[in-house]
Structure 1
Amino acid sequence: MRVSEMLKEIRGPWLKRVSHTLMRGEEGREALEQTLNRYYDLLLQAVATGDPGWLKPLLIEWASLRTEDELQEVDLSLSPVMAAMIGETFNVAREVLEPEAALELYEALLPVYTYSYTEIARHEILLRVSYVSSQLDKVKDELQRLDRSKSDFISVAAHELKTPLTLIEGYAAMLREQIRKEEETSPIVLMLRGVNNGTTRLGEIINDMIDVSLIDNNLLTLSFQPTWVNRLIEHLVEETTTLATDRGQSIDVIPFDGWEKQTFADTERIFQALRNVMTNAIKYTPDGGKITVSGRTLPGFLEVTISDSGIGIDPEDQSMIFRKFGRLGAVATHSSGKTKFKGGGPGLGLPITKGILEAHGGTIWVESDGYDEQALPGATFHVLLPLRNEPPDAKAAKLFRSAEENLDS
């Protein structure tokens, strides 16, 4: 008996068995039987021609009918259906046909069913990959939208706060001028000092917010001028020594080859970046700790390292600290303080530092063995700054060259 004839012989029992296996109730069974008949017609064609590709359009159609809810599931929904159809084919063949005929049918159908199972699984996987990719794109778009909203809020809030802060500072200064020298110890003077300290800190936060907004919108302008890293480090230590001394900390500077080289950079911005790293080191180093500033010269770059003997940073958190508001620890335990041990802040200093250095063509990263308040593994921040013989701006470079020529003559 030919394989096509065997398939025709078992068609009726197969259709009944498979339809009952796949759908227990009567509702929808007629539509299912129509679909199964289409599949069986193509199965006959595939066996007759020896080409299982006849089944491909229908298999793709079945895979494409999966709903979004089904695509969310990890399991492949049609593979079990195909497995049931294959299993019932062999069961019916064993019951209806002679053993030799059933075995012959198995051998003829095995490559066709293998193709069907593989093809439908492949298309289901492709559909799921496409679905997951589209969901990831949606999440990415939403995150970008939220980030833009956050940047817009920062920009608006910073500028809106700037005006009333200026008024407060102005009126406080006017009140201060009205007080005679003999009243320096009066409670009002102490109150005004408190107001001044508060407005100064608020002004620093607002300026940080403005800087973040400029960096986010690629509006940070740099004024390149001759810069010497050794002088910046000396100035940095002078400015932060008092803060460190108040905490019983020491700051050691280890000179390195090339730190006296002239480069071109925005001196104020680079100093701001280094100061942010230094105050961060002071903040996360316990009282009595040690901070070391050193570095090295690399081809085309100067690397400044600021190491501390502090509590360290877990590896999984080392990239987060360079993101806006990416502070460590629970928000509920936040405590404000610029250099107080583990004192909180808005989480803008290191992101600003990263933005400043990247605008210069440099970068920053941190190394730490982990977070441990007992073992104190510490952390080392690496600041990489390009060495430039002239400003990147052609007009500024020409201006500096002319000035040098005039000095030489």
Structure 2
Amino acid sequence: MASKELAHWLKERKELIMVKWIRAVRKASPGTDALLSTRELGSRHLEALYDAFVSALETGDYSDLEAILEQLVRDRLKREYNLREVLVIALELKKTCWEELVKEFPSIQALEYLQAADELFNFMTIKMANTFTEESFAFIKKLNKSLEQKVRERTQELQRAKEELERIDKAKSDFIRIAAHELRTPLTLIQGYVGMLATEELPDKERIRPILQGLNKGIKRLESIIRDLIDVSYIDAEVLTLSLQPVSLPQIFQSLLVEFQPALQARRLNLSISGLENLPLVEGDPQRLKQVFYNLLSNAIKYTPNGGSITVTGELLRGEQDFVHIIVKDTGIGIPPDKLERIFDKFYRVEDFRLHSTSKTDFKGAGPGLGLTIAKGIVEAHGGKIWAESPGYDEERCPGSSFHVLLPIKAQPRKAEYIQQIKLPVKAVIFDLDGVIVDTAPYHFQAWQKALAEFGLEMSEEQFRSTFGMRNQEILRTLFGTKLSSEQIEEIGRRKEAIYRELVYKHLTPMPGLLRLIQELKARRFRIAVATSTPRANASLILRALKLEHELAALVTEEDVEEGKPDPEIFLKAAEKCLASPENCIVIEDSPAGIKAAKAAGMKAIALTTTRPAEELGEADLVVENLAMLTPEILESLLEVGKQ
């Protein structure tokens, strides 16, 4: 019903939406296309695309839309559009529709209409990307055939074809990285607002409760997709960070058994695990290895019909290097022999994605096609190997599939290879937390005021700002001296942090430019650390809420050091955990005490004017207003200063 109502509304608003949409598309158009009038650009398939989109919404028939999308992509390819310039056509249509919907309807109703068209927007984006890739490859194949006559020409054109393939692959990688970054920040905001709505006493709360539940379900699904996209971008760039420690594979599978139990019961699937209890501990990253086997079990559940079985077995293989061999076998529909290697490619799926649901456990439910890609990347980062075996694909006989994982008992060879690849010495960027990753100073001040008031004490804003960078005990001793006993200092500190956590959790948003900068730094092989005077419980809360805990090579908090800033200990410990020497580290701080600590540690320092004016941060090597002004190139240049 919502789809048909939206289609009717789009017909009535066609002229207005077309004008705004085409203007947005023109801005992203290359060369002379940007100079075309709205009417001329609209005649290049955009008006037909709009009409086909509305028709598909109204009838559910995608055939006309599919044909127009193919024609549009071919036309754009002839005029040297890149993938982003093609995809922006669908993205800007969605954005324009949303902007006009919220002008006429309440936000919740507008969101319901947009959700009704979500599947269609996804279809358009994926169809355009696939057509772009297919047409590009078709062009390259055709080109290669014409080059067989002359050796010299063939060599030149093969080189051109290679560059084209690299451009397409880079376009895909760039799209993954940019999409993950662009989606992550607004998703954090949406999550925060939905959480606030869920806790507020609203007059019509019972009516909107199902809507909030639906939003939360969608948020969790999108979070999962974004995490997968980020993991794939790290695997592509070979900067996936592993925290190596002894890992018990039986414990991982017992945890997964509990996690998948509802799905197994609902689908009447039998999961048996044997041969793991006698396996030795494996050196690996427990969270990443759990991710591997979660993806393999999820895959087995999805492609095994109701009433089937899944078995997990393990064995120790001894040789020059000892390996653990894990097999996940199912009685599912199987995999065609010619697809056994391709299933590990990004976004690859054996069947038409429109025949699948997006559930992680429904029969033939399909996600974005990244689970096996991520599993392969993680296993290979540990120095292991993963592959699939199957007699073939048959939904009637269900020949089944088996996935094999070889993990070395010691992951050192692969770890050493990674260290070689990142070209030591290691470079690291060490972020302060408050005022750099998040601006929570107002909530710290409110928490201090409330906690101190309970003890009949006060703190002015000037006093608060004079203590930036200090730990709680140092703050209380500095301001109140011997008035407070050690027990009172500890009690006030605990109370302040409890109040702070309650205040800040509802208002967490990353500083502008943070997420983009972290991703770009990791792509340039910088290691990322956080060093903060904040208690570990608060730091972990903030990093977890911002989905940053897995991005870090190190986290150092007040519990890890004897002295607070301006003592350099906290930054030296962060550098040590990153395996980086101080001269190859950059600290990003917002307080004079933090800048002094960085310089005392022998590191470069960048100051943000989040909480202090620039003139108070003069010891820093560079002072900027916000993180959006920083790039990896600027940081690399800063490291080189003084090394000449």
TM interval, shorter chain, is 0.5 to 0.7
Tell me the CA shift for residue 389 of structure 1.
8.3
Q: Quick one: distance in 1 between partners of 2:155 and 2:405?
A: 36
Q: 2:408 aligns with which of 383, 386, 400?
A: 386
Instruction: Write the distance in 1 (CA, Å) between the matches of 2:349 and 2:376.
Output: 15
Counterpart of 2:346 in structure 1: which amino acid? K
Asked if the contact 1:227–1:262 (Cα under 8 Å) also holds between the matched residues in 2, the reply is yes
Offset at residue 242 of structure 1 (A) = 1.6
Deviation at 1:356, TM superposition (A): 0.5
Give 1:256 deviation, angstroms.
Answer: 4.3
Q: Which among 377, 385, 404 is matched to residue 363 of structure 1?
A: 385
TM-score of the two chains, using structure 2 as the length reference: 0.40
Give the match's secondary structure for 1:226.
Answer: strand
The one of 225, 244, 248 equivalent to 1:228 is 248
**Could you tell me how far 1:179 is from its partner in structure 2?**
4.2
Partner deviation per Cα, 1:23-46 (whole Å, 9 max, x = no partner): xxxxxxxxxxxxxxxxxxxxxxxx
CA drift of 1:133 comes to 5.2
The question of 1:296 aligning with 2:315 is answered yes
Question: What is the CA deviation profile of residues 263-318 of structure 1, one whole-angstrom value per residue up to 9, with x for unaligned ones?
Answer: 21000000001100100000001111111011211121101111010000001011
Aligned mate of 1:251, from 263, 271, 283 = 271
Root-mean-square deviation (Å):
2.8
Please say if 1:153 is aligned against 2:175. Answer: yes
Out of 284, 288, 291, the position equivalent to 2:303 is: 284
CA distances 1:348-381 after superposition (whole Å, capped 9, x unpaired): 0100000001011011100000000001000000
Letter in 1 for 2:365: G
Q: Are residues 1:208 and 2:228 paired?
A: yes
- Hey, what's the Cα distance between the residues in 1 that align with 2:227 and 2:198? 24
1:228-249 per-residue CA deviation (whole Å, 9 max, x = no partner) reads: 1111111121211222211111
Could you tell me whether the CA contact under 8 Å between 1:241 and 1:251 is conserved in 2? no
Could you give the per-residue CA deviations for residues 205-239 of structure 1, whole angstroms, max 9, x where no partner exists? Answer: 00000000011111111000111111111112121
Classify 1:160/1:370 alpha carbon distance in 2 versus 1 (closer, same or farther; 3 Å): same
Q: Structure 1 residues 247-256 or 284-293, which shifts more?
A: 247-256
What does residue 377 of structure 1 align with? 399
Contact 2:384 2:408 in 1 (8 A): yes
Question: Is the 1:297–1:303 Cα contact (8 Å) retained in structure 2?
Answer: yes
Q: What is the identity, as a one-letter code, of the residue corresponding to 1:176?
A: A
Please say which of residues 190-199 and 381-390 is displaced more in the overlay.
381-390
Counterpart of 1:120 in structure 2 is none
Deviations 1:137-166 (A, max 9, x none): 433332222111111111111011001111
Unpaired runs of at least 5, structure 1? 1-68, 75-123, 397-409
Assess if the C-alpha contact under 8 Å between 1:249 and 1:289 holds in 2. yes
- How far 1:333 sits from its partner (Å)? 3.1
- Partner Cα separation in structure 2 for residue 142 and residue 318 of structure 1: 26
- Higher relative contact order structure (alpha carbons within 8 Å, sequence separation ≥ 6): 1
* Correspondence for 2:282: 263
**After alignment, is 294-303 or 365-374 more displaced?**
294-303
| Distance in 2, Cα, partners of 1:149 & 1:71 | 25
> How far off its partner does 1:174 sit?
0.8
Task: Give the CA deviation at 1:70.
Answer: 12
> Is 1:142 the equivalent of 2:216?
no
Say which SS state the counterpart of residue 196 (structure 2) adopts.
helix
For 1:175-214, what aligned pairs fall within 5 Å after superposition? 175-179=197-201, 186-214=206-234
Counterparts in 2 of 1:71 and 1:304: CA distance versus 1, 3 Å: closer
Matching residue of 1:166 = 188
Confirm or deny: 8 A CA contact 2:332 2:398 kept in the other structure: yes
SS in 2 for 1:171: helix
Q: 1:100-119 residue pairs with structure 2 within 5 A?
A: none
Quickly say closer, same or farther: Cα 1:256–1:71, change in 2 above 3 A: closer
CA distance in 2, matches of 1:334, 1:144: 31
- Counterpart Cα distance in 1 of 2:345 and 2:237: 15
SS of the aligned residue for 2:290 comes to helix
Partner Cα separation in structure 2 for residue 194 and residue 71 of structure 1: 52
Q: Give 1:276-355 correspondences, 5 Å limit.
A: 276-299=295-318, 300-355=322-377
The one-letter code matched in structure 2 to 1:72 is: S
Q: Per the alignment, do residues 71 and 172 of structure 1 end up closer, same or farther by CA in structure 2, a change over 3 Å counting?
A: closer
Distance 2:356 2:163 in 1: 30
The structural deviation recorded for 1:324 is 0.4
Bigger radius of gyration among the two: 1
Give % identity.
44
Instruction: Give unmatched runs, 5+ long, in structure 2.
Output: 1-142, 420-552, 554-644
- CA, structure 1 residues 178+72, in 2 after alignment: closer, same or farther (shift >3 Å)? closer
TM-score normalised according to structure 1 size = 0.62
